[in-house]
Amino acid sequence: MPTSIWSDEFQAVFDQARSPRTKRIKIGRKTVSIPAPFPSPEDWRDKWIYFLIIDRFNNPQAPPRHLPWDGEHGEYQGGTFNGVRAQLDYLQELGAGAIWLSPVLKNCQYSRYSYHGYGIQDFLQIEPRFASDPEKARKNPRLAEDELIQLVDEAHARGIYVIFDIVLNHVGDVFDYENYGSVAPWRDYPYVIRWRDETGKGRPDWNMPPDNPSADAGIWPAELQRNVFFRRQGEGGEAAGDFASLKELATDHAEYSPVYGVYYPVRDILIRAHQYLIAKFDVDGFRIDTLKYLETDFARVFANAIREFAFSLGKNEFFTFGEIYDNEDKIARYIGRNAMEDSDLVGVDAALDFPLFYKLPDIAKGRLAPVEMVKMFGYRRQVQRNIISSQGEASKFFVTFLDNHDQHQRFYYRDPIEPHRYDDQVAIAVGCLFALQGIPCLYYGTEQGLHGAGRTLEAVREALWGSPKAFDRGHPFYQALRQIAQVRNSRPALRYGRQYFRPVSGDGVHFDFSNFPGGILAFSRILSDQEVVVVANTNTQAGWPGEVLIDYSLNPANSSYQVIFSNKPDPLLPAPVAEKPAGSIEIRDLNGAVSYGPTRVLPVQLQPMEIQILTK
């Protein structure tokens, strides 16, 4: 196995990846031929992403190690690559276009708590605990590699793309601080450190990286084994410092070469190591953890280097998106290229849509006024006005989501007295998520009604396969999500269309955006001459008969709309499009401006907690 990014074995992987070939993959009783490297999708907006934590998803060989299966457990539960592979048909039927895997690289083997994968110890090896036989995989690392390759190949054979979660900001707890241990308070200069051996012990004689340590000791690849490549100043924040016990890399460390001038060795090592991941495992995209903790120039350099390497393999739309747990202004610094800046470098293709996450779940639950989403997108338009994406226009900039592994509760709330009282809120939220601009992402178990909540993040990291009815394709949420995905797939306007939030009226005269919790969220997606209208009643008790503003030129009076999705078994059909003469109505814009028509509206009737997706 390679231990250096400049070894012959490492280079051989690059050479093979640049030689196109065909793989024959067995899927059940049939054999499917796929090209390798596997080409990118034409447009990522045609896909939606299913995010899973490998350790918490599935193991067909054994039950979860700790009970109850949905308890708050901080140690490995036993999920495997083969467990994910065993459920690819389940994900394909659900409609997933891509799966985002939690980090797959080797973590510190002496840690029982790194099941999540974000504490990397070796950037060139795969985590053996995700193999079907972890003990054999420790002795023979190719076992874990082969099972991961098989997972990726079988996903590709089903038309499912694979995204790896990667970490550039920090590594695992690979050394301790003298007199402190794993975590030390921040200070302005480096501490004396003690690199850990294969048992996890900080060695007093290892203040510098040891010569030729064992595979489970120190840090790998070999090129990273220098103290100056790590911050070593204790726990910090966004500007600099460790992420708790996870040690920060000094990605801003610069050196001088008479040949190359100033260069950044840590950046170069990370870039080449992750190019190796693409070449070795034929992955289709990277989700970049804690991106906002990196220097913006490194984020751009990394994104461009990865993009160019993927191009050289024929993966022309390799997808990079980052975790920027922040506001619109911060996100804009990392995605695309700012036309007002001198640099020609283009940042990552997209970011996780935290601004939408701050609004949509509360709106869908009737706790926040729908107008807040209108304001959010209005501000986004201002912030993004100078951003040029490598991937296209605004709807490609964001990967949208309702919840994830870094929250203390999932979106779905299961009432202990009336367990199904709020079930319809899931379809409201997912329906809006899949219809709004962006590339939707669902967190594993949403389709099975997981509803974890608790003191720790482990509350939402349940061992799904331990559920008595895990992977139930008949679950109402699975069926609803599958139907929503089919609607999105069948309507190009929901993937590429322009987006307009629509004023609504309960009296047929006064039109405005709902400015109270439990109101109506209405918007249109328009592509050429196609308009798809989405209307959601977030009130948990009251129905809503009213009218929604629609495009005047696309909708002749008396034309009819049909309901292509509702989360109710007996939705009421909308009345024909109605004409509103000039002076008969009052339309209030977000900025306070008032207009008086003429316009055309769509009369609808919604039950409590109902969403309707409508088109002609």
- Residues β-bridged to residue 511: 587
Comparing C-alpha atoms, which of 184, 211, 221, 216 is closest to residue 200?
216
Determine the pLDDT at residue 331: 85
Place of tokens 């439990």: 518
Distance of CA 577 to the CA centre of its chain: 38
Determine the pLDDT at residue 238: 86
Gap between the Cα atoms of 613 and 156, Å rounded: 31
Determine the pLDDT at residue 332: 82
Determine the pLDDT at residue 427: 98
pTM beyond cutoff 0.75: yes
Residue 184 CB partners (closer than 8 Å, separation 6+): 177, 191, 234, 235, 242
Per the CB < 8 A criterion, the answer to whether 157 and 34 are in contact is yes
Q: Tokens standing for 68?
A: 């109850």
* String of DSSP letters for 177-212: ETTTBS--B--SSPPPEEEB-TTS-B-TT-SSPPSS
Per the CB < 8 A criterion, the answer to whether 373 and 357 are in contact is no
Gap between the Cα atoms of 331 and 336, Å rounded: 10
Determine the pLDDT at residue 390: 46
Determine the pLDDT at residue 393: 62
- pLDDT tops 50 at residue 23: yes
Distance of CA 572 to the CA centre of its chain: 35
- pLDDT tops 70 at residue 344: no
Three-class DSSP category at 152: helix
Determine the pLDDT at residue 389: 55
Comparing C-alpha atoms, which of 193, 257, 216 is closest to residue 3?
216
Determine the pLDDT at residue 391: 41
Q: What is the mean pLDDT of the chain?
A: 95
Other beta carbons within 10 angstroms of residue 468's beta carbon come to 6
Pairing of strands 599-606, 544-550: antiparallel
DSSP strand E in 243-344: where? 255-257, 261-263, 285-289, 319-322, 337-338
Helix 142-157, helix 265-281: angle, nearest 10 = 60
When pLDDT is averaged across residues 425-432 and rounded to a whole number, the result is 98
- 149, containing H or E segment: helix 142-157
Gap between the Cα atoms of 582 and 21, Å rounded: 65
- Which one-letter amino acid corresponds to residue 306? I
Other beta carbons within 10 angstroms of residue 71's beta carbon come to 16
Gap between the Cα atoms of 277 and 143, Å rounded: 16
Cβ burial 271-292 (10 Å sphere, 16+ → b, else e): bbbbbbbbbbbbbbbbbbbbbb
Per the CB < 8 A criterion, the answer to whether 200 and 110 are in contact is yes
Per the CB < 8 A criterion, the answer to whether 126 and 149 are in contact is no
Three-class DSSP category at 89: helix
Pairing of strands 610-615, 562-566: antiparallel
- Residues β-bridged to residue 135: none
Determine the pLDDT at residue 341: 60
Determine the pLDDT at residue 386: 72
Determine the pLDDT at residue 476: 98
Gap between the Cα atoms of 347 and 333, Å rounded: 8
What share of the chain in percent tops pLDDT 70?
97
Per the CB < 8 A criterion, the answer to whether 608 and 567 are in contact is no
Gap between the Cα atoms of 614 and 616, Å rounded: 7
Where does residue 428 rank: exposed (0-12), middle (13-18), buried (19+ CB within 10 A)?
buried
Three-class DSSP category at 402: coil
Residue 417 CB partners (closer than 8 Å, separation 6+): none
CATH of 8-27+48-169+251-490, one of 3.20.20.80, 3.40.50.150, 3.40.920.10, 1.20.1250.30: 3.20.20.80
What share of the chain in percent tops pLDDT 90?
92
- pLDDT tops 90 at residue 406: yes
- pLDDT tops 90 at residue 223: yes
- pLDDT tops 80 at residue 616: yes
Confidence of residue 607 (pLDDT cuts 50, 70, 90): very high
Determine the pLDDT at residue 339: 47
Q: What is the pLDDT of residues 256-302, one digit of tens each?
A: 999 989 999 999 999 999 999 999 999 999 999 999 999 999 999 99
- 476, containing H or E segment: helix 476-490
Domains of the chain: which residue ranges? 8-27+48-169+251-490, 170-250, 494-615
Per the CB < 8 A criterion, the answer to whether 109 and 198 are in contact is yes
Gap between the Cα atoms of 294 and 250, Å rounded: 10
Gap between the Cα atoms of 235 and 221, Å rounded: 24
64-73, 147-156, 317-326: the lowest-pLDDT one: 317-326
Per the CB < 8 A criterion, the answer to whether 415 and 598 are in contact is no
Gap between the Cα atoms of 303 and 282, Å rounded: 17
Residue 131: CA count within 13 A, CB half-sphere: 22
Gap between the Cα atoms of 49 and 165, Å rounded: 13
DSSP state of 367: S
DSSP state of 159: T
Determine the pLDDT at residue 394: 67
Per the CB < 8 A criterion, the answer to whether 173 and 196 are in contact is yes
Gap between the Cα atoms of 23 and 464, Å rounded: 32
Q: Tokens standing for 70?
A: 């949905």
Comparing C-alpha atoms, which of 477, 512, 502, 504 is closest to residue 594?
512
- Residues β-bridged to residue 46: none
Q: What is the pLDDT of residues 532-591, one digit of tens each?
A: 999 999 999 999 999 999 999 999 999 999 999 999 999 999 999 999 999 999 999 999
CATH of 494-615, one of 2.30.30.110, 2.70.98.60, 2.40.128.130, 2.60.40.1180: 2.60.40.1180
Gap between the Cα atoms of 471 and 148, Å rounded: 21
When pLDDT is averaged across residues 386-413 and rounded to a whole number, the result is 82
- 398, containing H or E segment: strand 398-400
Helix, strand and coil content of the chain, in percent to the nearest 5, comes to 30, 25, 50
When pLDDT is averaged across residues 386-401 and rounded to a whole number, the result is 71
